[in-house]
């Protein structure tokens, strides 16, 4: 089970939007680059970056910061948030060198874009974010709820040639209340797609629960708050060592 640390960037800082709500945003660190370096030292094989400003506006406000991370951290970067045109996707993959782009709102609003991205870059470079609230898709930075059911949408993406989706119940994001196990199981088993789980993972027990879904196609998990707040015993060892031998900024919850 591949564990993918998540760095959410808003206004140049590392944050976490609890339940996907702006007024519940938790600030963690002034430097997303330092967070990426810390996750790399803790043996992350892939890091996911969510450009929250881009998700809302569709603009590349954090481009230079994300570029700094891709150029200095040395692990594959998966990037999502506001990727709504082919030109932006092309820039991120070919110029910025991100490992994979994650498409959310545009997969709902612009199917032709998804077809073009798959044709140009291949299945391995494109993942679709299936963000749900009460079983229905949300878009525009999770601000708008659609009338599209998650399973219906995922099956439609499969027909286009999509190979991987990232599934999360946004009401669980940042809450540490556990993953949407039934939702994950249903969407993985009924679509046959590769699924990355996200939202609500709080500890090792949650990881073991998700690991039991591997047989259905859930092969990886994205986490943020649990990692930021040191919910795993191994982290206590790593981060104590950080205090001794590095000047890296450690996250401070506010």
How confident is the model over 168-186, as pLDDT tens digits?
Answer: 998 888 788 999 999 999 9
pLDDT at position 54: 78
pLDDT at position 22: 53
pLDDT at position 101: 97
Angle at 123 between CA 120 and CA 127, to 5 degrees: 110
Helix (H) / strand (E) element for 224: namely: none
- pLDDT per residue as tens digits for the range 35-81: 899 899 888 999 999 998 877 777 778 899 999 999 999 999 999 98
- Confidence at 247, pLDDT banded by 50, 70, 90: very low
Catalytically active residues are 8, 131
Would you give the distance in Å from CA 173 to the centre of its chain?
A: 11
* C-alpha to C-alpha distance for 79 and 41, rounded to whole angstroms: 20
Span 235-240, average pLDDT: 59
Of 207, 223, 211, nearest to 172 by C-alpha is 223
The more confident residue out of 242 and 90 is 90
- pLDDT per residue as tens digits for the range 97-153: 999 999 998 999 999 999 999 999 999 999 999 999 988 999 887 778 899 999 999
What does DSSP assign to residue 192? Answer: -
Q: Is the pLDDT of residue 253 over 70?
A: no
* C-alpha to C-alpha distance for 3 and 209, rounded to whole angstroms: 14
Which domains are present in the chain? 2-245 (3.20.20.70)
* C-alpha to C-alpha distance for 195 and 165, rounded to whole angstroms: 5
Q: Is the pLDDT of residue 204 over 80?
A: yes
Rg (CA), the chain: 17
Q: Half-sphere exposure of residue 130, counting CA atoms within 13 Å on the CB side?
A: 31
Give me the helix-helix angle, 32-41 and 233-245, nearest 10°: 110
Average pLDDT across the chain, whole number: 87
- Confidence at 234, pLDDT banded by 50, 70, 90: low
* C-alpha to C-alpha distance for 75 and 57, rounded to whole angstroms: 27
The more confident residue out of 235 and 52 is 52
Span 211-231, average pLDDT: 91
pLDDT at position 65: 92
Question: If you search the block for the tokens 């339940």, which residue do you land on?
Answer: 19
Q: What is the pTM of this model?
A: 0.86
Helix (H) / strand (E) element for 161: namely: none
In terms of C-beta distances under 8 Å and separation of at least 24 residues, what long-range contacts does 210-213 make, across chains too?
A: 210/1, 210/179, 210/181, 210/184, 211/1, 213/181, 213/184, 213/185, 213/188
């Amino acid at each position: 089970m591949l564990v993918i640390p998540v760095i959410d960037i808003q206004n140049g800082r590392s944050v976490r939007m609890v339940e996907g709500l702006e007024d519940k945003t938790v600030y963690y660190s002034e430097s997303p680059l330092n967070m990426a370096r810390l996750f790399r030292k803790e043996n992350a094989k892939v890091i996911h970056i969510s450009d929250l400003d881009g998700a809302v506006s569709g603009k590349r406000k954090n481009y230079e910061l994300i570029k700094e991370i891709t150029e200095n951290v040395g692990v594959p970067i998966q990037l999502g948030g506001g990727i709504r045109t082919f030109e932006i996707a092309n820039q991120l993959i070919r110029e910025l060198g991100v490992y994979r782009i994650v498409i959310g709102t545009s997969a709902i609003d612009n199917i032709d874009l998804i077809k073009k991205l798959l044709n140009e870059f291949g299945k391995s470079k494109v993942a679709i974010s299936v963000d749900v609230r009460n079983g229905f898709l949300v878009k525009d930075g999770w601000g708008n709820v659609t009338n599209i059911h998650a399973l219906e949408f995922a099956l439609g993406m499969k027909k286009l040639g999509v190979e991987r989706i990232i599934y999360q119940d946004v009401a669980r994001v940042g809450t540490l209340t556990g993953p949407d196990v039934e939702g994950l199981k249903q969407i993985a088993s009924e679509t046959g797609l590769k699924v990355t789980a996200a939202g609500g993972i709080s500890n090792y027990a949650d990881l073991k629960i998700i690991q039991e879904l591997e047989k259905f196609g859930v092969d990886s998990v994205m986490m943020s708050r649990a990692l930021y707040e040191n919910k795993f015993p191994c982290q206590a060892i790593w981060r104590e060592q950080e205090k001794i031998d590095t000047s890296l900024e450690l996250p401070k919850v506010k």
